[in-house]
Amino acid sequence: MQVLGIDVGGSGVKGLLVETDTGAVQTERIRIPTPEPATPQTVAEAITQIVRSFEWGGPVGCGFPAVVQGGIIRTAANIDQSWIGTDAARLVTEETGCSTFVLNDADAAGIAEMRFGAGREVHGVVFIVTVGTGLGTALFVDGILLPNTELGHLFLHDVKAERYASDATRKKLDLSWEDWGARFNEYLLHLESLFWPDLVIIGGGASKKYDKFAGLLSLRSPVVPAALLNNAGMIGAAVAAREALVA
């Protein structure tokens, strides 16, 4: 079954069609800049633009950089604060005319990696850490998701971890890969000391540059790049939508 997967990020809104039985990407990705301000209406319009670009009328899965409960946005770290309390699933459904399921963006990426990627058939505790505008986390125990962990908001050196070690921070401060890698390693070591994962998967935009900082990581746990790279969020959103909407 084909589903349109959407990933709403702090810098871009991306979409592509996914064959949810296999996780196979069916189209080229369409990306448009995240509107400023990223209010419910402007983001819904951006999503609608992607839907119309595909001439799509079927189900939509949408990952958001926020805690999402029952389709309702509860936090807003990298989108406008006016999202808090918004029924995103209803809003996007009304704007696009497509049945829409909404979930946390890192959870979406994690679902894809556990189903089709680097976490496939891995048991125990698995962390997916997405590195981009912020730091997203998805936590699985024996393949079961604990949703909305949002551990990029832990504090390191009196600031939120994603303000200390995200890829956006690397770019903003013009950090070398060595300097940024030391920060990111510190963050991962903190996660490891709290949860003792059996595997850590690095996703998000930084996963494409994994070779530039892999040698700087000193975890006891195995660490690997996401197999699906930056498409994982869209693939996982599509898979989650299929399962939720069919159910």
Q: Which residues of 190-228 are buried (b: 16+ CB within 10 A; e: fewer)?
A: bbbeebebbbbbbbbbbbeebeebeeebeeebebbbbbb
d(CA 231, CA 34) in angstroms, rounded, equals 17
Q: Please check whether residue 2 is in contact with residue 20, taking contact to mean a CB–CB distance below 8 angstroms.
A: yes
Residues of the chain with CATH 3.30.420.40: 2-107+231-246, 121-226
- State the maximum Cα–Cα separation within the chain, in Å, rounded to a whole number: 48
Instruction: State the fold for domain 2-107+231-246.
Output: Nucleotidyltransferase; domain 5 (3.30.420)
Residue 129: Cβ-neighbour burial (10 angstroms; 0-12, 13-18, 19+) = buried
Confidence (pLDDT) at 247? 67
Confidence (pLDDT) at 124? 97
Q: Is the preceding peptide bond at 37 cis, omega within 30 degrees of 0?
A: yes
Confidence (pLDDT) at 164? 97
Confidence (pLDDT) at 78? 82
Please list the rounded mean pLDDT of every run of 10 residues in the chain (247 residues). 95 96 96 95 97 97 96 92 97 97 98 97 97 95 97 96 96 97 98 98 92 97 95 97 87
d(CA 188, CA 193) in angstroms, rounded, equals 9
Q: Please check whether residue 16 is in contact with residue 3, taking contact to mean a CB–CB distance below 8 angstroms.
A: no
Nearest to 39 by CA among 76, 69, 4, 12: 76
Contacts of residue 218, defined as CB under 8 A and 6 or more positions apart, other chains included, come to 185, 189
Confidence (pLDDT) at 245? 82
Determine the length of the chain: 247
d(CA 178, CA 228) in angstroms, rounded, equals 25
Q: Please check whether residue 147 is in contact with residue 108, taking contact to mean a CB–CB distance below 8 angstroms.
A: no
Ramachandran assignment for 8, one of left (phi > 0), alpha (psi -120 to 50 degrees), beta (any other)? beta
Q: What is the pTM of this model?
A: 0.96
Nearest to 143 by CA among 160, 167, 157, 126: 126
Alpha-carbon torsion angle 239, 240, 241, 247, nearest 10? 110
pLDDT digits (tens, 9 = 90+) for 46-59: 999 999 999 999 99
Confidence (pLDDT) at 51? 98
d(CA 150, CA 162) in angstroms, rounded, equals 10
Helix 88-96, helix 40-53: angle, nearest 10: 40
Type of residue at 176: S
- Asked: is 121-226 a CATH 3.30.420.40 domain? The reply is yes
